[in-house]
């Protein structure tokens, strides 16, 4: 499905590592493997990007990341809107994602974008110096 030209797997890995303080950040090779799939779409640039998989009538957010230097500028909100439009254009009727229960800014963004919680995975996201965080499963209609 392709991706924006300024957004290559190396750039995605760098932005993702800056956005999320993970014990093992996603690698450029992992991003390359994902973006090689005809079902995966990457939108954005080196400030913020969203990586999604669209199969049949479902669209899944694999990850969305905003570099810390570019937060609170509406970039993630704009990327979600672009994703929703692209997914609709490819026939998707539902979008879904998971988000860490302790990520209040992301949860607020998704709820504001029309997502609702439909499930929860206990202790899904490992944390360095704290117990693992639950994952909230969110979904929204794309019609």
Q: Using one digit for the tens of pLDDT, what is the confidence trace for 14-73? A: 999 999 877 778 999 999 999 999 999 999 999 999 999 999 999 999 999 999 999 999
Reported as a pLDDT band with limits 50, 70 and 90, residue 109 is: very high
State the pTM of this model: 0.91
| Stretch among 3-17, 52-66, 69-83, 96-110 having the lowest mean pLDDT | 3-17
Structure tokens at 35: 């973006």
Structure tokens at 42: 């990457």
With 0-12 / 13-18 / 19 or more C-beta atoms within 10 angstroms meaning exposed / middle / buried, residue 141 is exposed
| Residues in a beta bridge with 55 | 58
Q: CATH number of the domain at 9-141, please?
A: 3.40.630.30
Quote the strand ranges of 1-143, DSSP E. 40-44, 48-55, 58-66, 94-100, 116-125, 133-141
Residue-level pLDDT at 126:
85
pLDDT of 10 strictly over 90:
yes
């Amino acid at each position: 499905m392709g991706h924006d030209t300024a957004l290559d797997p190396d750039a995605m890995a760098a932005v993702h590592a800056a956005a999320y303080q993970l014990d093992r950040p996603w690698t450029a090779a992992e991003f390359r493997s994902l973006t090689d799939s005809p079902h995966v779409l990457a939108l954005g640039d080196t400030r913020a990007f969203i990586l999604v998989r669209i199969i049949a009538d479902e669209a899944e957010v694999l990850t969305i990341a905003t570099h810390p230097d570019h937060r609170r500028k509406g970039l993630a909100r704009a990327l979600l809107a672009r994703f929703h439009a692209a997914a609709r254009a490819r026939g998707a009727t539902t979008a879904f994602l998971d988000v860490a229960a302790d990520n209040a800014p992301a949860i607020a963004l998704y709820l504001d974008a029309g997502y609702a919680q439909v499930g929860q995975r206990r202790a899904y996201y490992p944390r360095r110096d704290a117990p693992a965080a639950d994952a909230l499963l969110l979904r929204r209609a794309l019609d």
